[in-house]
Amino acid sequence: MRTIAVLAASFAFATTALGQVSIGIDGRIVDEGARPIVGARVELMPGSRRVVSNEDGRFSFRNVEPGSYVVGAQRIGYEPSTARVEVTTSGSTTTIVLKTIPRILDSVRITERESPNRFSATVLDEGGHPVPDVAVTVEGISGTLRTDSSGHFIASKEFHGTVVIRMRKIGYAAYLGSIRLLATRDDTLRMSRLAQGLSAIQITEASGFGRDTFAYKELDQRMRWRDHQSAVVSREELNELGRLNLCSGLSFTPTGSRYGAGRGCGNSCVILNGGSGVALPARAYYADQVEMVEYYPPRSDWSGSLAARGCGGRNPTLVIWLRADRQKPL
């Protein structure tokens, strides 16, 4: 009887052990030619767990709860990349491809920087109808433009990098948007009509002609005086990060990685919506609720607007602009 009891207990223990096999993410880091990349830093988000790929480019995270995650990888000499992973009860696998950063002479970089692109767009309402006579400002690039009868406008100057667009018309909700302009683009932008029944003061405010005007004037000033160390991370880049807080995700955006926008994020001086809101630490905001992030390393703002708000000293400054439809922090 004792032998039978011992065998039963051993079987029960083995069954329990099998039931406790940890769920994990297994993956591989490779280059464009599917060759393994050794020594790549791999981060699991949320959770900020980090590992390094081995000589076969492989990595793994164990004891991962089922759910949606982002795995980011970076290695010197390669462009950072991320992959969205859905972990089930049987785990998950993924492969991340890192693109080699070409070795370019400084003279070629200068030529690239001086190869700007043209931006234009057509403004439509919710019903797809053109919205004429919209006041459009491409911050730091153009003065006020006006859409024509077909709702179209063309930026007066060429540019390369993140473009910040502000649009206003009485009776329509004010628009603030950001795109990453890497080639000539002709986009479609949309403005929504304001609800009927609002007072004249409410309509003026919601149309972008109210008390927030000063914040946008300072934004335009910063864009015009921005030096080569500062940058703007666009909504298109932030959308790739999903439900990650800014401090975890900025380093994995193309612009953030290039300019070091995630470095020292926890100690950054934060300004919300140009100074019109109460700012919480950067980690209090999800990437997918943010329209754009202005990044300024210490003592890099020549416009004076950051210093006027107590920022721009020894720590980096992040000016966080929230999307109109996602104004609540974590």
Taking the domains of the chain in order of start, what are their residue ranges? 2-97, 111-210, 224-322
Q: Look at residue 9 in the predicted model and tell me its pLDDT.
A: 46
Q: Look at residue 108 in the predicted model and tell me its pLDDT.
A: 40
Compute CA distances 246 → 172, 206, 275, whole Å. 30, 27, 18
Q: Are 221 and 164 in contact (CB under 8 A)?
A: no
With a cut of 80, say whether residue 327 has pLDDT above it: no
Q: Are 301 and 312 in contact (CB under 8 A)?
A: yes
318: pLDDT confidence band, cut at 50, 70 and 90? Answer: very high
Mean pLDDT of the chain: 82
With a cut of 50, say whether residue 208 has pLDDT above it: yes
| C-alpha–C-alpha distance, residues 156 and 149, integer Å | 18
Domains 2-97 and 111-210 agree in fold = yes
With a cut of 50, say whether residue 113 has pLDDT above it: no
Q: Look at residue 184 in the predicted model and tell me its pLDDT.
A: 84
Distant-in-sequence, close-in-space partners of 230: CB < 8 Å, separation ≥ 6: 259, 294, 295, 296, 297, 300, 301
Q: What is the mean pLDDT of residues 252-278?
A: 86
Q: What's the pLDDT tens digit per position in 146-183?
A: 999 999 999 878 778 888 999 999 999 999 999 888 88
- The four Cα atoms 188, 227, 311, 238 give a dihedral, to 10 degrees, of 30
With a cut of 70, say whether residue 22 has pLDDT above it: no
With a cut of 70, say whether residue 267 has pLDDT above it: yes
Helix or strand holding residue 296 (H, E): strand 290-296
With a cut of 90, say whether residue 43 has pLDDT above it: no
Lowest-pLDDT choice from 112-116, 155-159, 190-194 = 112-116
Residue whose entry in the numeric block shows the structure tokens 């002609």: 209
Q: Which CATH superfamily does the domain covering 2-97 fall into? A: Immunoglobulins (2.60.40.10)
Radius of gyration of the chain (CA): 25
With a cut of 60, say whether residue 107 has pLDDT above it: no
134 against 313, higher pLDDT? 134
- The four Cα atoms 151, 154, 155, 160 give a dihedral, to 10 degrees, of 120
For 10-30, the DSSP string reads HHHHHHHHHHTPPPEEEEEEE
Q: Are 29 and 59 in contact (CB under 8 A)?
A: yes
26: pLDDT confidence band, cut at 50, 70 and 90? Answer: very high
| C-alpha–C-alpha distance, residues 178 and 180, integer Å | 7
Q: Look at residue 330 in the predicted model and tell me its pLDDT.
A: 40
With a cut of 80, say whether residue 7 has pLDDT above it: no
Q: Look at residue 16 in the predicted model and tell me its pLDDT.
A: 41
With a cut of 80, say whether residue 247 has pLDDT above it: yes
Q: Which amino acid is at 231?
A: A
* Sheet with 175-181, side-by-side order of all strands: 144-146, 135-138, 161-168, 175-181
Q: What is the CATH number of domain 111-210?
A: 2.60.40.1120
Q: What are phi and psi of 156, to 5 degrees?
A: -75, -15
Residue whose entry in the numeric block shows the structure tokens 């370019």: 104
With a cut of 60, say whether residue 103 has pLDDT above it: no
Q: Look at residue 48 in the predicted model and tell me its pLDDT.
A: 67
Q: Look at residue 116 in the predicted model and tell me its pLDDT.
A: 61
Q: Look at residue 270 in the predicted model and tell me its pLDDT.
A: 92
Rounded to 5°, the CA angle 131-133-136 comes to 95
DSSP β-bridge partners for residue 248: none
| C-alpha–C-alpha distance, residues 15 and 90, integer Å | 17
304: pLDDT confidence band, cut at 50, 70 and 90? Answer: confident
243 against 255, higher pLDDT? 255
Give the class (CATH, top level) of 224-322: mainly beta
